[in-house]
Structure 1
Amino acid sequence: MEYPAPYAVSATDRSGLIVIVEMLFMCWMIMVSLIRLYMRLAINGPVQVDDLVVFAGGVFAIAHVGTTMNAISHGLGRSQDESSLSDLKRAGEGVYAANLLFLAGHGAAKISICLLLKRLGRQRNYLLCSKILVGMVVTWTIASIFAVALSCFPQYLQSMAQHCSNIGPAWKSITAFDVITDVLTFALSIFLVWGIQMRWKEKATVIFAFGTRLPVIILVILRQTYLDRSLFHSDPSLHLSDALITTAVLLHYSIMVSTVPCLKPFVIAFNTGWGQGVTNSVGEHPYFTPTGKSASTTQSRAYKDDADLAPRRLSQESQNSQQLIIHQTREWTVEEEYEMHSVDNRL
């Protein structure tokens, strides 16, 4: 006797696809978070506030997967004809909780990046901008959670058009400010390296590390497009599946890319000689060391292997400088040995 699979992918049942995406991206997110935890504990610790915030976001993301799976077990992702009214009510409760956990996890990832950028800067104007951005993202996260929580209650999943007329404008406002804050975060990363004396290639590397969040904007807009199509559909349980899949990708990707700017120490730890990197071992970010602080304990000369580039030496002056530099050096110690020989002077 054959038994039907608990999750399937068909025209009237997309629960299997939701489960696959949720579990796959959650596993990737957990692995990336463990890598970040390892780096902070073994390579470039201690654990900072931005790390704790993004780890909290990972916990929210795991809880999001749990609530979504619970909703799927009660008919989410399937046609209403295949689910009873009691199951749809429980599915609505799962979707309600999953939306709140999504906003909490996604907001934590955004706050973590903003706190990291704030920790890297020293200039007065930069610090002011970073504090304003942190305040904006925290306010957006809290306001979004309250807006969704009060706009539509769990029992109205199957009748949103009659009871949840405010949920559509609420999600549109949340999406708009989500995009704005991500754009401002990327602009702040450019501001961070704009005035630093370094090669453009190195500046581009740092900007790219923070620019990996830009695809989040595409996912946010795509998710809102699917929500607009499905929120007030006659069969929202089935047609919300596209929005749920995009939400899962957005949430876990947002948390994963928050770790990208911290990955360099992990690469250096397994370096076999193909490149040299410098990190600060006292609570600073791996990409950055303050001017006036040598990366080694000995006062040795730093030379570049490229003959076309003039040699550059780290300045030992301006110990209180507030400017940051990003550099890559190779160090060589030159020792000379002399031998004394007696020479007979003959005419």
Structure 2
Amino acid sequence: MSSSLPLPAAPTGNRFALVTPDDDSAPVTIVTMLSSIFTILVFAVRLGIVKRKRYGYDDCLLSLGHVVALGQWAAIFIALDNGLGKSTKLVGNREQNSSAKALFAGRILLILSLCFSKLSILLLTRSLFHWEKRRKILIIDATIVLVIIWGLGATLALSIDCSPHTMLGRGLTQCSGHVLRLRIVMIIDIITECIIFGIPILFLYAVKVANGTKLLVIAAFAFRLPLVAFSIMYLLSFTSYIDSKSSGTAIVPTMIWQEILLGYSLMSATIPCLKAFVEGFTTGGGRLGEIEVVRMPYESEGSYELGQMRKNMHRSLERLENIEDTGTHLQHSRRRSRRSNSKTIEEASIRSQTSEQPIIGMAI
């Protein structure tokens, strides 16, 4: 006789989320909540501990990325409240319209947040390698321009002549080449991430430093590489969703990968700022001289050198100034003592001369 496992009991009472054949919104809710919570916590650690009182331009851009991400998470929760992940037969037309608009806005905000994350990591890289020759710094500047163009172009490409209903797999005739546009956007996104990872390798190649130190710095930027896989999965899942013409539940994998992509992009921008990675860099490849390591091209980017080195440098400079002041003081005191001695000798000679005159007169 064949035995089979008993079916699970039907859910009773109040549940956080239910997964049924017609309602698969629970995974989206859970992933969105985890993505937002962990991302905000990591950013709080960055501002409160890692970069405390040493903020730079990269922190400003990453802050903008988190502000935009808050809008994206809010859009997803609005879509969930209006039936995201549920079968269309359970959701009315009004809720579907609201969900489509929220998803449409959420994807635009996703692109903008990814753009700010890329710019933040590029500015960090530019500051760490400020001692490089100008032609190498131009590579970073060119990449920054490329990312800005990508962010603006992707925002326009995914919104011009496109209806929000394309997010629900409908109205594709109102957005010609919708899937092709997304493919181009994500391909450029992947290319920029590869460039961001390759720049430190290019700069460290000619630096005479231990291989362990090089690997430590490269490992910090290697945490961006999973974004390539996440972008590919997001693109494939959305393409599969559009081709499936599902009744609403097939969009769930796309939204899950979207939240993973967004959260990891923002969190990975903090990893190269951690003390273990930056100390390995500043005590190795960047040591072209004590002053060059500490002094940064512009003040706001000086925060990347851990602040403590700057304090130590200031203290040493103050000590040198004190030593110089002490030496100058000693020189002045010596000169004064010499002058006083010479005056004393002159006065003594004058006195001796005046005292001798009456004796000579008496002798005469």
**Candidates 95, 99, 105, aligned match of 1:87:** 95
Q: What is the distance in 1 between the residues matched to 2:312 and 2:56?
A: 23
**Candidates 143, 151, 157, aligned match of 1:133:** 143
Identity fraction in percent: 24
How big is the shift at 1:8? Answer: 2.4
Q: What is the distance in 1 between the residues matched to 2:202 and 2:307?
A: 15
In the alignment, is residue 222 of structure 1 matched against residue 233 of structure 2? yes
Q: 1:165 to 1:12 in 2, by over 3 A?
A: farther
Letter in 2 for 1:110: K
State the aligned residue count: 285
Q: What is the distance in 1 between the residues matched to 2:21 and 2:137?
A: 52
**Candidates 240, 259, 265, aligned match of 1:248:** 259
Q: 1:102 to 1:162 in 2, by over 3 A?
A: same
Higher mean Cα deviation, 93-102 or 116-125? 116-125
Q: Is the 8 A contact 2:216 2:277 kept in 1?
A: no
Q: Which residue is 2:343 aligned to?
A: none
Q: 1:199 to 1:294 in 2, by over 3 A?
A: farther
SS in 1 for 2:22: coil
Q: What is the distance in 2 between the residues matched to 1:36 and 1:92?
A: 34
Q: Which residue is 1:11 aligned to?
A: 21
Q: 1:265 to 1:205 in 2, by over 3 A?
A: closer
Q: What is the distance in 2 between the residues matched to 1:289 and 1:210?
A: 23
**Candidates 221, 231, 245, aligned match of 2:242:** 231
How big is the shift at 1:286? Answer: 3.5
Q: Which residue is 1:76 aligned to?
A: 84
Letter in 2 for 1:285: Y
Q: Is the 8 A contact 1:148 1:167 kept in 2?
A: yes
In the alignment, is residue 285 of structure 1 matched against residue 304 of structure 2? yes
How big is the shift at 1:237? Answer: 2.8
In the alignment, is residue 168 of structure 1 matched against residue 176 of structure 2? no
Q: Which residue is 1:30 aligned to?
A: 40
Please give the root-mean-square deviation of Cα atoms over the aligned residues, in Å. Answer: 2.9
**Candidates 42, 45, 49, aligned match of 2:52:** 42
Q: Is the 8 A contact 2:272 2:278 kept in 1?
A: no
Q: 1:280 to 1:21 in 2, by over 3 A?
A: farther
Once the two structures are superposed, what CA deviation does each residue of 1:10-67 show, in whole Å capped at 9, x if it has no partner?
3321211101001111111001111111246636x1x111111011111111211110
Q: Which residue is 1:153 aligned to?
A: 163
SS in 2 for 1:150: coil
Higher helix share goes to which structure?
2
Q: What is the distance in 1 between the residues matched to 2:169 and 2:180?
A: 19
Higher mean Cα deviation, 149-158 or 93-102? 149-158
How big is the shift at 1:155? Answer: 4.0
Q: What is the distance in 2 between the residues matched to 1:32 and 1:11?
A: 36
Once the two structures are superposed, what CA deviation does each residue of 1:236-262 show, in whole Å capped at 9, x if it has no partner?
632111010000001010000000011
Letter in 2 for 1:243: T
Q: 1:160 to 1:232 in 2, by over 3 A?
A: farther
How big is the shift at 1:69? Answer: 0.6
Q: What is the distance in 2 between the residues matched to 1:253 and 1:24?
A: 11
Q: Which residue is 2:67 aligned to?
A: 59
How big is the shift at 1:6? Answer: 6.8
Q: Is the 8 A contact 1:18 1:241 kept in 2?
A: yes
Q: What is the distance in 2 between the residues matched to 1:158 and 1:174?
A: 19
Q: Which residue is 1:113 aligned to?
A: 121
SS in 1 for 2:146: helix
SS in 1 for 2:23: coil
TM-score, structure 2 length as denominator? 0.72
Q: What is the distance in 2 between the residues matched to 1:237 and 1:145?
A: 25
Q: Which residue is 2:134 aligned to?
A: 124
Q: Which runs of 5+ in 1 are unaligned?
A: 269-277, 300-347
Q: What is the distance in 1 between the residues matched to 2:176 and 2:13?
A: 41
Q: Which residue is 1:206 aligned to?
A: 217
Q: What is the distance in 2 between the residues matched to 1:294 and 1:193?
A: 26
How big is the shift at 1:196? Answer: 1.9
Letter in 2 for 1:24: L
